[in-house]
Amino acid sequence: MGIALVAVVVAAIILIAGAYFYGRQQSAQSAAATRADAERLMAQAQAQQKELVLEAKDEAHKLRTAAEQDARERRAEVQRQERRLQQKEENLDRRIEQLEKRERTLGQHEEELDQHRVQVDELIAQQRQELERVAGLSREEATEMFLRSVESEMREQANKLVRQIEMQAKEEADEKARRIITTSIQRWASDQVSESSVSVVPLPTEEMKGRIIGREGRNIRALEMATGVDLIIDDTPEAVILSGFDPVRREIARQALNKLIQDGRIHPARIEEMVEKARADVDTVIKEEGERAAFEAGVPGLNPDLLRAVGRLHFRYSMGQNVLRHSVESAHLCAMMATELGADVSVARRAGLLHDLGKGVSHEVEGPHALIGADIAKRLGQPPKVVHAIAAHHFEEEPQTVEAFLVQAADAISGARPGARRDSLESYVKRLEALENIANSFEGVEKSFAIQAGREVRIVVRPEDIDDLGAARMARDIVSKIEETLEYPGQIKVMVIREKRVVDYAK
């Protein structure tokens, strides 16, 4: 075992020694190769250094050459700038010299102009003095005369222009108004019913007259006292006439008398009973008619008291035209025209229905029916615009809204329909005479004619006394006087005619 161990150790030592010597041999070979590489790299570096030095020298030569060329070009440019500046200085010197010459010349011209100005002023003064001497007027007087002449001419031209503008505006307004009114009338046409201030009650027999009169007239007195209506019993066969200015009372009397005739028992107590029943029936009719008119006119939400006031118009007639039918028609016309003009349709419709509200109580209250109706509408909660339109539809107030003018127009249209209203011959004659008298009261009128049942008056003026502008003023003055002094339905057209004829003879 010991020999084997020794053998192992010896073998290991031998291996280690072999490896050491082999390594030193390899290291020597590697060092030699490294030295060879280093020498080769050194030679390459020296060669590259020489090339770089040569390149640097060449680049430096090029830069120096470029710098010298740039310097030469800059010197040449500076020389050119100096030559240009010298030329500009010479030009400026020449211009300054020319300006100095012109200044001296202008100074001489100014002196000459001053001398001429003085001479011209002296000539103007001499001419002014000569003109004043020849005309016999001072400068201020001549100026004032000229200004008056110009003012008169301009005023005349302005009047002509104003008249042309007025005529054009009137033609356009008339055309538009005519179209709107015509359309409204075509869209709404109602039946016309006329009535008088008396009612006729038919009797079954002639002996009924005696029973109505009663013993010593007690029945007829009781009936008249209960109703406030006059009973006229004359030779008219089988008829009794009821006469009274209040149509509601007359209707109550008519119904009460019919009930008494049908019942057959006619005495004061029965008369009072029948009159109370007839009054209740008429009140019911008034309420129903007011509701029907409001519904037909499209005006909802009216106060019950206001509906009763409207319903009373069912028994009122204005120159033969039923006032309630007239009010409903006016409401529709107002609404149609308000739609065309873009006005408040609701206000126009309501004011058209209520505009004659005062006629239902005008005999009980003092004052114009327009103001009475406006007061009733105001107390019963109607809007201010509606109240104003009612008050202004006959110019008791000056119209301030479009709706107020529409109510005036609708009222006139409805009353002016053919057959809507009637008047007595005496009223027509008086109206014609009044129109002609008003026209003849103006200076320069040669003759006048009232035509178309008093709806138009034509005035012929003397052309030597009235010019065109005077004719226009006369027409306005006559219209104002007619509106102030006359009462009439609808409107009256005033036409002033100025005709000038020149006649000569050739001999």
Q: How far is Cα of residue 482 from the mean position of the Cα atoms in its chain?
A: 30
Could you say which of 420, 446, 477 is where a domain stops?
Answer: 420
Q: Taking all residues of the chain, what is their mean pLDDT, rounded to a whole number? A: 81
503 within domain boundaries:
no
> Is 430 in the same domain as 482?
yes
Q: Which of 311, 402, 420, 415 is nearest to 357 (CA)?
A: 311
Count: domains in the chain: 4
Task: Give the domain-ending residue among 284, 311, 330.
Answer: 284
Can you tell me the distance from the alpha carbon of 41 to that of 49, in angstroms, rounded to the nearest whole number? 12
Instruction: Write 274-278 long-range contacts (CB < 8 A, 24+).
Output: 275/223, 275/226, 275/227, 278/252, 278/253
Domain membership flag for residue 133: yes
pTM value?
Answer: 0.48
pLDDT digits (tens, 9 = 90+) for 340-349: 888 899 999 9
The three-state secondary structure class of 188 is coil
Task: Look at residue 366 and tell me if it is in a domain.
Answer: yes
Residue 231 sits in which domain range?
194-284
Do residue 352 and residue 409 come from a single domain?
yes
Report the largest interatomic distance among the alpha carbons of the chain, rounded to a whole angstrom: 197
Residues 369 and 335 in one domain: yes
Indicate the helix (H) or strand (E) that contains 201: strand 198-202
448 token code pair: 């006048």
Question: Do residues 273 and 376 share a domain?
Answer: no
* Cα(360)–Cα(171) distance, integer angstroms: 39
> 254 and 155 in one domain?
no
Establish if 14 belongs to a structural domain: no
Among 368, 403, 420, identify where a domain stops: 420
Domain with residue 313: its CATH number is 1.10.3210.10
432 in the same domain as 416: no
Q: For residue 102, tell me if it sits in a domain.
A: no
Q: Is residue 107 part of a domain?
A: no
pLDDT in tens, the chain (507 residues): 556 666 776 777 777 776 666 666 666 667 677 777 777 888 887 888 888 888 888 888 888 888 889 888 888 899 989 889 989 888 888 899 899 888 888 888 888 888 888 888 888 877 777 776 766 666 677 777 777 777 777 877 777 787 778 777 777 766 666 666 655 554 554 544 444 556 788 888 888 888 888 888 888 888 888 888 888 887 777 788 887 767 788 888 888 988 888 888 888 888 899 999 999 999 999 999 999 999 998 898 888 899 998 988 888 877 767 888 889 988 988 988 888 888 899 999 999 999 988 887 755 667 788 888 899 999 988 999 999 999 998 888 888 898 998 898 888 888 776 555 555 445 666 777 888 889 889 988 988 888 766 778 889 898 888 888 888 889 999 999 988 888 776 678 898 988 877 777 787
Same domain as 398, residue 361: yes
Please indicate, yes or no, whether residues 216 and 127 belong to a single structural domain of this protein: no
318 plus 416 within the same structural domain: yes
Nearest to 356 by CA among 332, 378, 328, 383: 328
Q: Which amino acid, one-letter code, is at 160?
A: K
Q: Does some domain include residue 40?
A: no
Q: What is the CA radius of gyration of the chain?
A: 60
Q: How many beta carbons lie within 10 A of that of residue 462, not counting itself?
A: 14
- Do 340 and 410 fall into the same domain? yes
Same domain? For 393 and 443 the reply is no
Residues 6 or more apart whose CB falls under 8 angstroms from that of 246 comprise 228, 229, 363
- In this structure, the number of other CB atoms found within 10 A of the CB of residue 292 comes to 16
Q: Are strands 239-243 and 230-232 parallel, antiparallel or unpaired?
A: antiparallel
Which tens digits make up the pLDDT trace of 386-426? 999 999 988 888 888 989 988 988 888 887 765 555 554 45
Closest by CA position to 478, among listed 433, 435, 447: 435
Would you state the pLDDT for residue 349?
A: 92
Q: What is the DSSP letter of 242?
A: E
How far apart CA 147 and CA 205 sit, in angstroms, is: 93
The answer to whether residue 5 sits within a structural domain is no
Do 128 and 203 belong to one domain?
A: no
What are the start-end ranges of the H helices in 380-424?
384-392, 402-416
